[in-house]
Amino acid sequence: MLAALRDAAGAMTIVDIAEQLEVHPNTVRFHLEALVANGRAERLEPDHGRQGRPPQMYRAVAGMDPGGSRRYRMLAEILTIALAGDPEASVKALAAGRAWAARMTRPTRTKPGVRASVNRLIGLLDDLGFAPQRRDGPGEVRGEVQVGLRHCPFLELADEARSVVCPVHLGLMQGAMTMWHAPVAVDRLEPFVEPGLCLAHLTLDKEAS
């Protein structure tokens, strides 16, 4: 129906559209109201200078179609490949990850404890689709914790440009801890230590426990 409005030389009535599309006028009216509500079509003021009740006229609103297809993966590939060719790709990707964290998280009013900080990081990573798992081990006695990431939301890009994607993820975790004023440092991220597993290495401030 939106296509019919766009292809028309001028505004159309409900009857005009119904005849062109060979559907019932009530069906046209229903869809037109939805298009108007979404800002994709507009209802014109009728000409009250004519005798009788003038018909409602509709036309498409000029502009990009918000319901059109998206190609975000293509954009991600273009930007990733371009950055991968930069001599400072990892440094810039790390900074991008930290900036991403600053947009996604809010600073805390009070400094959280170690356990709360780790749990909050795991919650953030889970919301983003990383399928995180806390891996307890002997290192925790020394103030070290590992968080396993069982899924990469950018797996295809990571296969092609690991020097960009992995630092972005590390920067995200580091940036989140900074925003939360957490007594936890994300030291490094080991990509693909096993098939389907990346490891984030955290250092805990034991005095804050």
Structure letter (DSSP) for residue 192: E
SS3 letters for 71-123? CHHHHHHHHHHHHHCCCCHHHHHHHHHHHHHHHHCCCCCCCCCHHHHHHHHHH
Domain assignment of residue 133, yes or no: yes
Query: What is the rounded end-to-end Cα distance, in angstroms, of the chain?
Result: 62
Report the pLDDT value the prediction gives residue 184, as an integer from 0 to 100.
95
Q: Please give the DSSP secondary-structure letter assigned to residue 126.
A: H
Given this model, what pLDDT does residue 139 score?
Answer: 60
Instruction: Please tell me what DSSP assigns to residue 182.
Output: -
| Residue 131: per-residue pLDDT | 97
18 and 107, same domain (yes or no): no
pTM assigned to the model: 0.71
Residues of the chain with pLDDT under 70: 46-52, 137-141, 206-209
- Polymer length in residues for the chain: 209
Instruction: Say if 18 falls within a structural domain.
Output: yes
For residues 12 and 46, state if they share a domain: yes
| Residue 147, pLDDT score | 97
Task: Answer yes or no: is 204 within a domain.
Answer: yes
Neighbours of 142 (CB within 10 A): 10
Which pLDDT tens digit goes with each residue over 120-133? 999 999 999 999 99
**Domain assignment present for 65:** no
Number of structural domains in the chain: 2
- Chain segment 39-52, per-residue pLDDT in tens: 889 998 766 556 66
CA separation for the pair 39, 5 (Å, rounded): 13
Q: Could you tell me if 184 and 105 lie in one domain?
A: yes
Do 40 and 143 lie in one domain? The reply is no
Give pLDDT, residue 110: 84
List pLDDT tens digits, range 53-70: 778 899 998 877 777 788
Residues 187, 203: contact at Cβ < 8 Å?
Answer: yes
The values of phi and psi at residue 20, to 5°, are -65, -40
Residue 7: CATH number of its domain: 1.10.10.10
Strands in 57-60's sheet, in edge-to-edge order, are: 12-13, 57-60, 41-44
Domain containing 156: what range? 86-208
